[in-house]
């Protein structure tokens, strides 16, 4: 186990993966526009690369850890892009949450160059990227999966093989995140209603956690909100973006959602209210005004 892996984008998630791979004996070459992130990785034994092409040179696989489809395209196919520097047969892990059609387009462009795309959105946050306990929703051809099993299982103890078509990872992630957005907005609505009805919100949340209204994101975010803690772990803009992408995918498939648009609208209103830079726990503040 343990060849050379390039990583472009070593922020919260990419940085966590770099640390995880180093711990397990892999060579890592990292590139990021933010120098301090690269320095942090170098302290853990990674090699600094000045460009995506340099991060990709000699690597058996490249992890793309940037934030959106435009950046993903740029680091692969732009000037000093990684794709041209990878050897034929190398794999490219596409980790950001993007539209399924963007994954499909990039996978096709990689295939034209003899490179294998692995659609692999992540779930779980930085701490779990760092210790390898995050979830990976992996969609790629069977042969590609088998060839990269060591790498994938080093990155994640919870690899979900959601399909063989690149794009199905993105679809699965968007479906999950749409539901997370609904459950979060629903929890904020319920607790704001509890307060309006004269109930103690903390005690109501105690009951909900032991009753049929329980959800992971509802507890996680509403505990913070009730403590007045809106320091961003997950910015309001993240689920604003992901619920929008999910609704666009639904629309393109002729599906008419009912609750998703109401949740997306709540994130839009939170941004309009000036809460874009806060944790999405801030939805409670929004619903308190309703």
CA distance linking residue 74 with residue 52, whole number of Å:
9
Identify the CA nearest to 43 among candidates 65, 9, 18: 18
Instruction: Decide: is 137 part of the binding site for a copy of itself (CB under 8 A).
Output: yes
- Contact string (CB under 8 A) for a copy of itself, positions 184-213, x = contact: -xxx-xxxxxx-xxxxx--xx-xxx-xxxx
Q: Which residues contact 28 (CB under 8 A, 6 or more apart)?
A: 4, 5, 6, 7, 18, 21, 22, 41, 45, 46, 47
| Of positions 105, 158, 233, 285, contacts a copy of itself by CB under 8 A | 158
Q: Does 271 bind a copy of itself (CB under 8 A)?
A: no
Nearer to a copy of itself, 40 or 179 (CB): 179
Residue 97 lies near a copy of itself (rule: CB under 8 A)? no
Residue 4, strand partner residues: 27
Q: Does 36 bind a copy of itself (CB under 8 A)?
A: no
Residue 215 binds a copy of itself (CB under 8 A): yes
Question: Would you call 120 exposed, middle or buried from its count of C-beta atoms within 10 A (0-12, 13-18, 19+)?
Answer: buried
**Among 11, 45, 124, 232, interactor with a copy of itself by CB under 8 A:** 124
Under the criterion CB under 8 A, does residue 175 sit at the interface with a copy of itself? yes
Task: Tell me if 61 contacts a copy of itself by CB under 8 A.
Answer: no
Active site residues: 173
What does the alpha-carbon distance between residue 169 and residue 163 come to, in Å, rounded to a whole number?
7
Among 5, 143, 21, 111, which Cα is nearest to 64's? Answer: 5
Q: Is 183 in the site for a copy of itself (CB under 8 A)?
A: yes
Closest approach of Cβ 74 to a copy of itself, in Å?
27
The reply to whether 19 sits near a copy of itself by the rule CB under 8 A is no
SS3 164: coil
> In 10 A of CB 197, how many CB atoms?
8
- Longest Cα separation, the chain: 65
CB of 267 to a copy of itself, least distance (A): 11
Query: How far is it, in rounded angstroms, from Cα 214 to Cα 218?
Result: 7
Q: How far is the CB of 105 from a copy of itself (least distance, A)?
A: 17
Residues that bind a copy of itself in the complex, under the rule CB under 8 A: 100, 123-124, 135, 137, 158, 160-163, 165, 168, 171-172, 175-180, 182-183, 185-187, 189-194, 196-200, 203-204, 206-208, 210-218, 246, 249-250, 253-260, 262-263, 265-266, 287, 290
């Amino acid at each position: 186990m343990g060849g050379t892996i390039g990583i472009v984008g070593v922020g919260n998630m990419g940085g966590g993966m770099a640390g995880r791979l180093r711990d397990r004996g892999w060579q890592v070459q990292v590139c990021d526009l933010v120098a301090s992130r690269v320095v942090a990785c170098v302290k853990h034994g990674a090699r600094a690369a000045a460009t995506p092409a340099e991060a990709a040179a000699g690597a058996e696989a490249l992890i793309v850890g940037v934030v959106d489809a435009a950046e993903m395209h740029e680091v692969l196919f732009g000037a000093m892009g990684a794709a041209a520097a990878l050897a034929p047969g190398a794999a490219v892990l596409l980790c950001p949450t993007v539209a399924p059609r963007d994954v499909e387009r990039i996978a096709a462009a990689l295939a034209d160059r003899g490179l294998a795309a692995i659609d692999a959105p992540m779930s779980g946050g930085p701490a779990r990227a760092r210790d390898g306990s995050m979830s990976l929703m992996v969609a790629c051809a069977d042969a590609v999966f088998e060839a990269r099993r060591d790498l994938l299982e080093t990155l994640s103890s919870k690899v979900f093989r959601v399909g063989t078509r690149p794009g199905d990872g993105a679809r699965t992630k968007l479906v999950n995140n749409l539901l997370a957005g609904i459950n979060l907005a629903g929890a904020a609505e319920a607790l704001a209603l509890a307060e309006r009805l004269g109930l103690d919100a903390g005690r109501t949340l105690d009951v909900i956690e032991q009753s049929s209204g329980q959800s992971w994101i509802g507890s996680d975010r509403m505990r913070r909100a009730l403590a007045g803690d809106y320091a961003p772990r997950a910015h309001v803009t993240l689920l604003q973006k992901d619920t929008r992408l999910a609704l666009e995918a639904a629309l393109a498939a002729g599906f008419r959602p009912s609750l998703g648009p109401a949740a997306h609208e709540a994130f839009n209103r939170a941004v309009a209210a000036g809460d874009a830079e806060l944790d999405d726990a801030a939805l409670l503040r929004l619903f308190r005004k309703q």
